[in-house]
C-alpha cells in the first residue's frame, strides 16, 4: 500500500478505443486504484488528498516502443558517434572529417545513418573515399537500417578482414570486378564485425548514453520499451544485460524495459535472464530471430523474383534455414518462451506464420508474452487472416511506411507493392498491432509513430498528400491503442500496462494537445507536459 494522490484532466484517454473524458486518476503507490469523475472525488478519496489538475491537457497511457535497438539508439544519440544520412558518399565523408576534427586520436571513428539508395547518385559507397580522407585511422559507418557497414582499409585491417576472409553465416562482403573487397559488409557479417568496434567504446560513456536515452524517451511520453536483439550470431545481439544490471542496481532505470535476446537454439541465457529480471522495471518476455534481410537490398526472402532482379531467379534468401528456424521456435514454444522473428519478404512472412501455427497447435500460447513477426512489409490478405487465426502479433513500425514510398514498387512491382504495412486490414481482421520505431533505423519519435500510422505521410512534408496506400490509414484511437495496449499485450503485461484503469500501473503521459481531436498532420508540434511512471512524475517540462 502507498500514499494516495490524484491526477485529473478534462481530456483523459483511458485506452482501448475509449473516447477521451473528464476523469481523475486515483493513484495509490505505483498503481491506479480507481478512475473517477472529478465531481465524485470526494466520495473516493479522503479530504486533503493531493490533487494535480492538468486542466485541458491530454492524458493517455504511456507510449510503449515495441521494437527498438536501445544500445544503438543511445550510442547514435551521444557524442561517441556521428549520426548523419548525407546526400552523397562525398557529403558523408566530408561530415566524418568534421566529426574527426572534434574527436582527435587514432581510435575508431564511428558513424551511422547513410542510405545509399537515397543518395545522388544512388550507388553504394566504397572504401576508396574513406581511405583518401582517413589513410591511418580506422573508420566505419553503419547504414541507416543497420544492415550494412562501410569500412575503410585501415578498419578492415583492424578487424582482421582480408580478401580471403569467409564472412559469418547470414552475411556477405561486397567485392569489385576483380574480386577485391570494396569495404561494404552486409547483414550478419556487418553486425558481427561492428560488435568488435563497439567493444572499444569507453564504458562510462556508454552508461551515460543510456541514461541520456532514458531521459529523451521520457520527454516524449515513452514509458516502456522493448530492446530487441540485432544479430543472431552468438554474443553479438547487442542486448547488454550487464549494462541494465549495473543501472538497475544503481536505481537509474526510470522506465520499463523488456529484453529480447537472440534465439540461437539454446535457451540457457534467456532462461537465466528471465529468472534474474523479475521486477517491474526490467523483464525478459522472450527472444528474437531473423528470417531475412530487407527488400531494398534484395535480401528479403520472396516467393517470386524481384521486379528488378540482380540475377535470374533473384528471390532473396533466408538468413536461417527454415528447418533450423522451425526447430528454434518449436523448442522455445515447448519451454513456454515467446519468439519474435524479423520477416520482411512474403516468403519469410508466410513461412514464419506456418511455423508459429504449428507451435500453437503443439504447445499453445507462451507462458509470458506473445509470439510475433516483426516489420512484415510484404504480405498478402491471406497472411493477415492466418495471423488472426493463431493470435500472432504484428509488430510494426509506422515510420517505415514513408522512408521511401517509391522503393516497394521499384523492387517488388506494382501488384506486391499495393498491399504493404496494412494497418487497417490488421484492425479489421482482429490482429493485435504493437507499434514501435526500430530506432535508430528511424527517429525514436513518439509523435512520428502516431502521425505516420494515421496519415501515411512523411511527417516533415505531409507527402504524399492523402498518404501512401491511404486505404490502410487508421484512426488516432487505434494508433494510440497499438502504441500502448498492443505493445503491453505483446510483452505479456496487458494486466499491468497499456490502459488507465483500476489495478494498472500508473504509467501515463500528459500532452499539451488532445491527440484524438488534433489535426494528425500537425501533431509534430505536440509537446509533453509531464510523464509519470508508477505514479511518479519522472519527467516534466
pLDDT digits (tens, 9 = 90+) for 72-87: 999 999 999 999 999 9
pTM here is: 0.92
Model confidence at 146: pLDDT above 90: no
pLDDT digits (tens, 9 = 90+) for 397-428: 999 999 999 999 999 999 999 999 999 999 99
d(CA 442, CA 73): 10
Angle value at C-alpha 398, between 490 and 344, nearest 5 degrees:
75
Least confident of 15-29, 82-96, 300-314: 15-29
**Radius of gyration, alpha carbons of the chain:** 23
Beta bridge partners, 146, equal none
Three-class SS state of 521: helix
Q: In 3D, which of 271, 268, 285, 186 has the Cα closest to residue 234? A: 268
d(CA 353, CA 369): 17
Q: How confident is the model at residue 32 (pLDDT cuts 50, 70, 90)?
A: very high
Give the DSSP letter of residue 332. Answer: H
C-alpha cell at 361: 497447435
Q: In 3D, which of 347, 283, 262 has the Cα closest to residue 487? A: 283
d(CA 288, CA 20): 36
**Can you give the pLDDT at residue 231?**
75
* pLDDT-above-90 percentage for the chain: 87
* Rounded average pLDDT over 466-470: 97
Q: Are 352 and 341 in contact (CB under 8 A)?
A: yes
**Can you give the pLDDT at residue 118?**
87
C-alpha cell at 428: 479489421
Kindly report the average pLDDT of the chain as a whole number: 95
Amino acid at each position: 500500500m502507498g500514499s494516495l494522490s490524484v491526477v485529473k484532466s478534462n481530456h483523459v484517454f483511458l485506452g482501448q478505443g475509449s473516447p477521451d473524458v473528464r476523469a481523475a486518476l486515483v493513484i495509490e503507490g505505483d498503481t491506479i486504484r480507481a478512475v473517477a469523475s472529478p465531481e465524485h472525488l470526494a466520495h473516493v478519496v479522503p479530504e486533503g488528498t493531493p490533487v494535480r489538475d492538468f486542466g485541458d491537457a491530454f492524458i493517455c497511457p504511456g507510449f510503449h516502443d515495441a521494437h527498438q535497438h536501445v544500445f544503438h539508439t543511445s550510442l547514435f544519440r551521444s557524442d561517441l558517434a556521428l549520426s548523419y544520412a548525407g546526400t552523397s558518399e562525398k557529403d558523408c565523408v566530408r561530415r566524418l572529417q568534421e566529426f574527426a576534427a572534434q574527436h582527435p586520436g587514432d581510435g575508431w571513428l564511428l558513424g551511422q545513418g547513410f542510405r545509399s539508395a537515397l543518395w545522388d547518385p544512388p550507388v553504394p559507397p566504397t572504401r576508396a573515399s574513406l581511405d583518401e580522407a582517413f589513410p591511418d585511422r580506422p573508420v566505419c559507418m553503419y547504414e541507416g537500417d543497420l544492415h550494412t557497414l562501410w569500412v575503410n582499409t585501415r578498419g578492415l585491417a583492424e578487424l582482421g578482414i582480408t580478401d580471403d576472409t569467409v564472412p559469418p553465416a547470414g552475411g556477405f562482403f561486397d567485392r569489385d570486378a576483380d574480386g577485391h573487397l570494396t569495404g561494404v559488409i552486409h547483414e550478419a557479417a556487418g553486425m558481427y564485425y561492428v560488435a568488435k568496434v563497439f567493444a572499444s567504446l569507453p564504458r562510462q560513456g556508454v552508461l551515460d548514453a543510456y541514461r541520456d536515452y532514458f531521459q529523451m524517451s521520457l520527454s516524449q511520453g515513452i514509458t516502456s520499451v522493448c530492446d530487441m536483439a540485432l544479430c543472431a550470431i552468438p554474443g553479438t545481439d547487442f542486448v547488454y544485460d550487464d549494462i541494465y544490471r549495473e543501472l538497475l542496481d544503481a536505481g537509474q532505470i526510470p522506465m520499463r524495459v523488456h529484453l529480447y535476446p537472440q534465439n540461437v537454439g539454446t535457451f540457457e541465457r534467456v532462461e537465466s535472464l528471465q529468472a534474474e529480471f523479475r521486477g517491474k522495471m526490467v523483464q525478459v518476455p522472450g527472444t528474437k530471430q531473423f528470417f531475412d534481410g530487407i527488400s531494398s537490398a534484395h535480401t528479403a526472402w520472396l516467393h517470386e523474383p524481384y521486379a528488378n532482379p540482380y540475377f535470374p531467379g533473384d528471390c532473396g534468401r533466408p538468413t536461417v534455414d527454415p528447418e533450423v528456424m522451425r526447430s528454434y521456435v518449436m523448442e522455445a514454444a515447448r519451454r513456454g518462451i515467446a519468439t519474435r522473428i524479423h520477416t520482411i519478404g512474403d516468403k519469410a512472412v508466410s513461412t514464419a506464420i506456418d511455423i508459429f501455427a504449428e507451435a500453437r497447435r503443439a504447445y499453445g500460447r507462451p507462458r509470458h508474452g506473445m509470439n510475433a513477426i516483426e516489420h512484415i512489409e510484404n504480405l498478402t490478405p491471406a497472411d493477415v487472416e492466418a495471423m488472426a487465426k493463431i493470435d500472432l502479433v504484428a509488430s510494426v513500425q509506422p515510420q517505415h511506411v514513408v522512408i521511401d514510398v517509391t522503393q516497394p514498387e521499384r523492387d517488388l512491382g506494382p501488384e506486391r507493392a499495393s498491399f504493404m504495412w496494412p494497418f487497417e486490414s490488421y484492425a479489421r481482421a482482429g490482429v493485435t498491432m504493437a507499434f514501435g520505431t526500430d530506432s535508430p533505423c528511424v527517429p525514436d519519435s513518439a509523435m512520428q509513430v502516431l502521425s505516420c500510422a494515421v496519415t501515411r505521410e512523411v511527417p516533415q512534408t505531409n507527402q504524399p498528400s492523402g498518404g501512401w496506400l491511404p486505404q490502410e490509414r487508421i484512426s488516432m484511437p487505434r494508433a494510440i491503442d497499438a502504441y500502448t495496449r498492443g505493445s503491453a499485450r505483446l510483452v505479456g503485461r496487458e494486466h499491468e500496462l497499456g490502459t488507465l484503469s483500476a489495478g494498472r500501473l500508473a504509467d501515463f503521459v500528459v500532452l499539451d494537445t488532445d491527440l484524438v481531436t488534433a489535426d494528425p498532420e500537425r501533431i509534430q508540434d505536440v509537446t509533453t507536459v509531464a510523464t509519470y511512471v508508477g505514479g511518479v512524475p519522472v519527467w516534466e517540462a
